Structure 1
Amino acid sequence: MAKTPTAVIDDVFVKHLKNVLFIDIETVSQVPDFEMLNERLQKLWLKKAVFLNNEENLSDADFYLKKAGIYSEFGKILCIGVGGIVFDDENKPSLRVKMIGGDDEVDVLLSFKKILEKHKAGNNLMLCAHNGREFDFAYICRRMLVNGIILPRVLQISGKKPWEINHLDTLDLWKFGDYKHFTGLDLLAAIFNIPSSKNEISGDQVNHVYHVEKDRAKIERYCAADVVVLTQLYMKMNNCALIEEENIEVIL
């Protein structure tokens, strides 16, 4: 018989969770139109696009709008959701999610860096994301470097051994060493009975919502919802009960 997830968390895991920040990023293309790229970058995008899957036979302009935001060389970070768990005297968890968003990527990155550097966990701070090793962590580092921002300690991984890197990835945890297998956050949320974050939009619509609909607030709500799902998934993966909805606060 399966063990029922517990709502009361032991002291060791409480200490661990206090050192973890759960993050998600949303990215968009740097400019809304392919023709706005300078000639050099246009050529380099077209060269890159040859190796990408364009099943819908989209035009160069439409394919750029659909795909460019995924790649840190052509995209930028629009917002970062940051979630932290706090506990009451009985070790009952509450989740606080703060959104960092704005049209100026430098401001977003500096605000995020400030949160990391001021966190009371210090050198023990850990970051958790879904597919973070392949996307979120790498994208943040690349965009910080492009914008001349010194990486905060928790993102400085060069020369470190794998066990010295304070990054958690729920996709890696789910793979159990099966590195040919990808499972999206929404599917894992479904099988663990966690409410979906895809109520307003999905990830492939973010660029359109930002550049065409001009609705950054909708994207920030979506990002915050992903942080909630990510946190709940991590709780489930550690055989803990979901954090109760009334104990979740989102600051947009």
Structure 2
Amino acid sequence: MAHVFLDIETIAETTDFANYSKKSVREARYCGESSEAPEVQYQQRANLHAEFGRIVCISCVLRTQGGEIKKISFCSDDERGLLSDFFEMINKAGVSVLLGGHNIKSFDIPFICKRAIINGLKIPKALDYGTLPAWKMGTVIDMMEMRQRSGYLRTGLELLCLCLGVPSPKQSLEGSQVSDLYWNSYQTSAGTEDHRATLQTIASYCEGDALASLLCYEKMEGIEVAEPIVEEKKEEKNQTSLLVFSESDYLTWSKKEYMSTYKTFDDLMAWLKQNYSGVEAYERQLRDHRAKYELGMSF
């Protein structure tokens, strides 16, 4: 049975707090005793609450029986799309995987489930613990819980990594910076390669947290790994790190790439399959739109 360690990156639901539909509720519940301006407090902390934030990335990391690290990230502007893709993977895996992560029982899984409900999606059985408290989610491995050992004080992932000699995932970015990074990019370059590069940066950071949790687990459990932990060669990253976008992203982006670069639809599909994981799942939909591609029509 495989251990799949996951992490999520969350952002504020909006940057327009003045016209936010939940503004009065947010102010009444969280801003009453704060000395900060409500809009500042919202931008800094909204991503901690599923009611006021949303998910921009979900990353999963596992180690194969051969010792190789495999990564996959669902990262998109379309939260419903990335949740659907992630749920599809989880449902296909069924009972063959055990989920793990850092503070996953109290934050990641509840956040995912709440956002699924808000987006009208059915929660996979592997994530649906109903009203069970965190300490009864027995099949989920939580590194914060393991480190706490029934004590009071909790240990953050960065400190846990330092204690165990695991490389820190917080060297170039921190979770508190993701929301600003995303929104600055989205507002200035949505739909461009620059914004896609920002999504890749967020996905890489998210993968780093998930990987750190896996490595900490192996250290704490005394699991010896014969193979190298991480492949460092950047040019080979696509062999172990797979970035998956939603169907709508594929369709929009692929059309643009086709119109500017590829002479035939088959050339486009060959390029996508070579560079991006998961495109096969959308091949039928893309082929259905072949005539529109060739006529240069929008979807």
Q: TM-score range by the shorter chain?
A: 0.7 to 0.9
Higher relative contact order (CA 8 A, sep 6+): 1
Of 158, 161, 164, 2:130 maps to 158
How do 1:35-114 residues align onto structure 2 when only pairs under 5 Å count? 35-38=18-21, 41-50=22-31, 54=34, 57-88=35-66, 93-114=67-88
Task: Tell me the alpha carbon deviations over residues 50-74 of structure 1, each in whole angstroms, 9 at most, x when there is no partner.
Answer: 367x5xx432112111111110000
CA separation of 1:142 and 1:188: change in aligned 2, threshold 3 A: same
Which of 211, 214, 229 is equivalent to 1:228? 211
Aligned identity (percent) is 25
Relative to its length, the structure with more helix (as a share) is: 2
Within 1, Cα distance between the matches of 2:178 and 2:36?
A: 18
> 5 Å matches for 1:1-252?
18-38=1-21, 41-50=22-31, 54=34, 57-88=35-66, 93-119=67-93, 122-158=94-130, 165-178=138-151, 180-214=152-186, 215-241=198-224, 244-246=229-231, 249-252=240-243
Q: Where in structure 1 are there 5+ consecutive unaligned residues? A: 1-17
- SS state of the match for residue 239, structure 1? coil
1:129 Cα deviation after fit = 1.2
The gaps in structure 2 that reach 5 residues or longer are 187-197, 244-299
Paired letter, 2:47: G
Partner-residue secondary structure (3-state), 1:155: coil
TM-score, structure 2 normalization: 0.69
The question of whether the paired residues in 1 share the 8 Å contact of 2:168 and 2:212 is answered with: yes
How many residue pairs are counted as aligned between the two chains? 223
Q: Report which of the two structures shows the higher radius of gyration computed on alpha carbons.
A: 2
Give the CA deviation at 1:160.
6.2
Whole-Å separation in 2 of the counterparts to 1:206 and 1:167: 26
1:213 deviates by: 4.0
